[in-house]
Chain A
């Protein structure tokens, strides 16, 4: 597309001058904006900055809370897996007591033994019988 016939050096110079003058006038009109408008713009700006700050803080909190939550979860996981080992770790002393406990349970569950303990007369007869048996065995072995 060829340029219009009237476009030439003078036109360009005039255009530049016109642009310069309009720019100056518009900038002047900006400076003349009244206090009410300036105040409203000031409030709008503060609102926008608060919004941006709030948004950034929430993003930061999300990023800082994420590792903390991860650390808590990892701690719980480790604690869960280490808990049984910690019981067996110090159990050289507790193992025997644990075994004794199991034997006590067997004794307690044995009803015959309980009957024997509860009946004192039978218990005495049993011991007398046992001594007699031992003596007779000894006599027969020496007499032979």
Chain B
């Protein structure tokens, strides 16, 4: 029955299109925040982009059929795993490089990208400059946090996940999330006191 099969194709197409639209909408909503979270953890733009790209692909491959409300904790769980893998690989590579006799002074290249650290040439009004300085101080303080505290803080504060969602994304208990978050807040307040007054 050609008409029935044609109907099936149309049905499948419309279902696929609506799911694709929903996935697109979700990814548009999280991609920039996910990038900032990955960048804070990895301190490297391209690595952060790779991590977010991998997380997007993995979500699309494995979990796009799941209900949309499950996507956010799943996406951040995948991203968290990806970030951890990259950090481990980087640690191993750092150890190997530290054993090499001919290593130069470029060990910290991955930690601090000179281009990223270079001051912008754009003229900035005083208020904007003040915000930039505060933001830079905040980003440095966040980068200095222990990894778990950093991830919990970013997921709770920037992404707005609740305690349960953060626990799912981090693969830990809700109690652990609360502890990490409280410690992160204490640490950041201690470091940024001068900028907030």
Residue in B closest to A23 when the chains form the complex, CB atoms? B157
Contacts of A55 in B (CB 8 A): 60-61, 64
With the chains together, A22 CA to B191 CA distance in Å? 13
What distance in Å separates the Cβ of A11 from its nearest Cβ neighbour in chain B? Answer: 10
Q: Is the CB of A47 within 8 A of B36?
A: no
Q: A-B contact count, CB below 8 Å?
A: 106
Tell whether B176 is near chain A: CB-to-CB under 8 Å. Answer: no
Chain B count of residues within 8 A CB distance of the other chain: 40
Size bracket of the A interface: 20 to 34
Contacts of B32 in A (CB 8 A): 30-31, 33, 38, 41
Contacts of B8 in A (CB 8 A): 60, 64
Q: Is the CB of A37 within 8 A of B27?
A: no
Q: Which of B17-25, B144-152, B165-173 contacts A (4 or more CB under 8 A)?
A: B17-25
CB 8 Å contact bits of A40-64 with B (1 = contact, 0 = none): 1100110111011101110010001
Residues of A in contact with B (beta carbons under 8 Å apart): 14-15, 18-19, 21-23, 25-31, 33, 37-38, 40-41, 44-45, 47-49, 51-53, 55-57, 60, 64, 68
